[in-house]
Structure 1
Amino acid sequence: NRLKKKKLLIQVNNLKKQIKNEKKKIYLIKKMENKIKELDQTIKDLEKEIAELYKKAKSSKGASNKMYMQRCMNLMKKKKLYDQQIQNYLSQQFTLDQVAFTKENIQNTLDMGVAMKQATQQQKLLFDQVNLDELEDIRDDMEDMQYETDYMNEMLNRNYDIGVDEYELDEEFQQLDNELFQEQIAQQNLNKNNQQINQNLNENSQLQKNIN
């Protein structure tokens, strides 16, 4: 029990240190971000002031021109100093971010290792429950059933041969040809009779006209 309490106490202390370090890191990052914003605004104000002084210098001569140009030079040096300070803050912020990313990557790697170990153990337990012989028997049974099913389908779809006498088929085709020929002859005779009747009617009609 004492050993467990000691380990628990160590874990709690480590957690407190981590929380304290995280808070300190967050405080430093926010502090630098605020400082960068302040310097950036100061630089913008300096640029505006430099532009106004340069306009005055361009429109003046002699001592006034020299005075305005000197003030512009001083403000530009000041602006450059602030630019350099911003770069320093950005470098420090980048270093903190890099440390945080490295720590996060290490923690992710450790977490992934633990997860992989747990998954491997679970897979091993599941695999131990698998009966390979039983699976092989099931597969053999499935193959047998598939073979029997294919055989039954083949039997059901089998085409039975029917004996055909080619001579009888030729006779049937010949009979059909004769029937078609007779139908054509009958149609031709009917057409001739109709033409003859129409001709006789026309002649009678013409004769009647002549008599009248």
Structure 2
Amino acid sequence: MKRVFGAKKDKEPPPSVQDTSDRITKRGDNVEEKIKKLDAELAKYKEQIKRTRPGPAQEAVKARAMRVLKQRRMYEGQRDMLYNQTFNLDQVAFAAEGIKDAQQTMSALKSANKDLKGMMKTVNIQDVDSLQDEMMDLMDVSSEIQESLGRSYNLPDDIDEDELLGELDALEADMGFETEGGVPSYLQPDKESDLEGELNFPSAPTGHAPVPPGRVNMQAEDELGLPAVPGPSLRN
């Protein structure tokens, strides 16, 4: 059968957008290189035209320059066309990448939605409310226990607050009576210190006998008030 009808050839996969864009960009770069060579040739012809006198020689150089300039414009048109194709392919590639990203995003959202629904089935809002109410009740019981443990012992229950306020006023009055002139009694001078001031005892002796009037004290003293030691005599 294969000899009669021939074998079916496998179709090659179509080129991708990126491969086509790279190939066209490479062609555009080759055309750009040709344009640069023509620019260098045109610059050489411009110098020859400047150095050549008007006449047949100059006209021949101008004709060559015109031919090169026509080729340059043709290559520029090809380059612009190739670059436009590359730009269009880049736009298509960008749109395709955006669609792929959208597909991946949708797949991730679907998976997350499925997982979230599965987790929500394990949580009941009524159970959460009941747990919160139970926790509040436990906190109230804990506060009552702490308050009960913080009570003081051996205190009479029939204490009158007015009576306590009266005792407080009387205590403040006693404290004000003990102060004289706004100074508390514990800051006032002691009576024993006043008595010592009234007795006016003489001061303690300093260790030097007083010099009688009319007599000169011939004994010298040093800086500390002690008798000075006489130095060696200079006489032989």
SS state at 2:25 partner: helix
How far apart in 2 are the matches of 1:75 and 1:209? 139
Q: Please tell me whether residue 177 in structure 1 is matched to residue 187 in structure 2.
A: yes
Question: Which of the numbers 10, 15, 20 marks the counterpart of 2:13?
Answer: 20
| Residue 81 of structure 1 pairs with residue 95 of structure 2 | no
Gaps of 5+ in 1: 1-15
Pick one of 24, 30, 34 that aligns with 2:22. 30
Q: 1:101-132, CA deviations, whole angstroms, 9 ceiling, x for partnerless residues?
A: 22222232233223222222221121111121
If the length of structure 2 is used for normalisation, what is the TM-score?
Answer: 0.60
Q: Aligned in 2, Cα 1:191/1:127: closer, same or farther, shift over 3 Å?
A: farther
1:60 to 44, 52, 56: 52
Q: Distance in 2 between matches of 1:100 and 1:70?
A: 45
63, 74, 79: which is aligned to 1:70?
63
**Structure 2 residues without counterparts, runs of 5 or longer:** 1-9, 151-163, 219-236
Distance 1:205 1:115, change over 3 A: same
Please give the secondary structure, in 1, of the residue aligned with 2:116. helix
C-alpha distance 147-89 of structure 1, shift in aligned 2 (>3 A): farther
Match of 1:207 among 213, 225, 229: 213
Give the TM-score, by structure 1 length.
0.66
Whole-angstrom distance in 2 between the partners of 1:131 and 1:191: 96
Structure 1 residue matching 2:76: 3-state secondary structure: helix
**CA–CA separation in structure 2 for the residues paired with 1:74 and 1:109:** 53
Q: Is the 8 A contact 2:17 2:93 kept in 1?
A: no
**Alignment deviations for residues 129-154 of structure 1 (CA, whole Å, 9 cap, x no partner):** 1121221122223344555667759x
- Higher relative contact order by CA 8 Å / sep ≥ 6: 1 or 2? 2
CA distance in 2, matches of 1:45, 1:191: 126
2:38 to 36, 43, 46: 46
How far did 1:42 drift? Answer: 1.0
The 8 Å contact of residues 211 and 217 in structure 2, kept in 1 or not, is answered as no
User: How big is the shift at 1:80?
Assistant: 1.7
Q: In the TM superposition, what is the alpha-carbon distance from 1:93 to its structure 2 partner?
A: 1.4
1:129 to 122, 128, 131: 122
Equivalent residue number for residue 166 of structure 1: 172
One-letter amino acid matched to 2:30: E
Aligned length: 185
Relative to structure 1, the CA distance from residue 20 to residue 177 in structure 2 (aligned partners, 3 Å threshold; closer, same or farther) is: same
User: In the superposition, relative to structure 1, how do residues 24 and 182 fare at CA in structure 2: closer, same or farther (>3 Å)?
Assistant: same
Q: Which has the larger radius of gyration?
A: 2
How far, CA to CA, are the matches of 1:192 and 1:72 in structure 2? Answer: 135
Instruction: Report the Cα offset of residue 27 of structure 1.
Output: 3.9
Sort the Cα spacing of 1:67 and 1:136 in 2 relative to 1 into closer, same or farther, 3 A: same
Give SS of 1:207's match. Answer: coil
Structure 1 segment 147-158 matched on structure 2, within 5 A: 152=146
Name the CA shift for 1:128/1:46 in 2 (closer, same or farther; >3 Å).
Answer: same
1:100 lines up with 2:93 in the alignment: yes
